[in-house]
Amino acid sequence: MHRRTNRQSHVLVFAGTGEGPALVAALADADWSVSVSVVTESAAQVYRFADLKDLHVGAFRSLEDLGDHCLIHAVDAVVDATHPFALKISAQLHQMCRIYALPLVRFERPGWTGPQTSLLSGVEEFSQQSLQGHRVLLALGARHLAAATQAGRAAGATVKARVLPTPAAIRLAGAAGLSGEDLAVLRPLGGVRPGAVEAALCRHWAITDVLCRQSGGSADALWNDLAETLGFHLWKLKRPSPPDTVPVVQSSQELVALLDGLLI
């Protein structure tokens, strides 16, 4: 890649552990000054040796804190590469960038839809399906389990779920009425061969349908592949669309090219 010299513009990237490191590396390779903001210490570990101006760890307490951070660090543009369903931080970034007249770019992970896939506008739409005799696996965040469990049962299905191995996730699953044989506690894409545990779980429970989110990335691709391989139907909650005024890119090359146009 052509490398520029003496570039002064500072880009602040809000990201997790998925595509974030590759985006940061591409920006640094293009000679941008780059900072990163992540929510947790565990997410920060993948950036410890990156070529960064600053690494912020933790949620911002308010919109004012977010704006002050950008002013103190002389941020020239913001990249929102957070999870597609992280609606709160995305809304805050949009509002803050409007107030401070900062360019905002949204990075979206490519999504997959196949012949076995139906997109839903929300969990309530799932409750309107005719699923009598079906066995549904919920592969959602734990915060959505209660609504999704209720919707699945309203549709006539037997509901199972898998959650992360954390006390909070297990507690939320229990509050949704899922425990014992109806619940699997595991880390997604774990094991020697990513997807093998999920496939075994679907076979063990004789799953006919899976409800997940259209999040893009490796997890989204995995469920698409398993739907084709195992023959279950895949229901995806459609990811929210960013505001029309926010440009969207789907690769690090697109991001660098767009920032070139915005900041030069």
Q: Are strands 10-15 and 33-38 parallel, antiparallel or unpaired?
A: parallel
Domain boundaries, the chain: 10-108+242-263, 117-237
> Per-residue DSSP letters for 216-236?
-HHHHHHHHHHHHHH--EEEE
Average pLDDT of the residues in 106-130: 88
Task: Report the 3 state secondary structure along 82-138.
Answer: CCCCCHHHHHHHHHHHHHCCCCEEEECCCCCCCCCEEEECCHHHHCCCCCCCCEEEE
Q: Is the pLDDT of residue 264 over 80?
A: no
Q: Is the pLDDT of residue 114 over 50?
A: yes
Q: Is 31 left (phi over 0), alpha (psi -120 to 50) or beta?
A: left
pLDDT value of position 159 = 98
Say if residues 210 and 223 touch (Cβ distance below 8 Å). yes
Average pLDDT of the residues in 39-44: 90
Q: Is the pLDDT of residue 77 over 70?
A: yes
Residues ≥6 apart with Cβ < 8 Å to 181: none
- For residue range 151-189, list pLDDT tens digits in order: 999 999 999 999 999 999 999 999 999 999 999 998 887
**Residues pairing with 211 in the sheet:** 138, 235
**Residue whose C-alpha is closest to residue 178's, from 217, 213, 149:** 149
Residue entry with tokens 């704006």 = 67
Rounded to whole angstroms, how far apart are CA atoms 78 and 82? 12
Fold of 10-108+242-263: Rossmann fold (3.40.50)
Tell me the three state secondary structure of residue 21. helix
Same CATH topology for 10-108+242-263 and 117-237: the answer is: yes
**Residue whose C-alpha is closest to residue 122's, from 88, 150, 90:** 150
Rounded to whole angstroms, how far apart are CA atoms 262 and 151? 44
Beta strands in 153-251 (DSSP E): 158-163, 183-185, 209-213, 233-237, 248-249
Q: In the CATH scheme, what is the code of domain 117-237?
A: 3.40.50.620
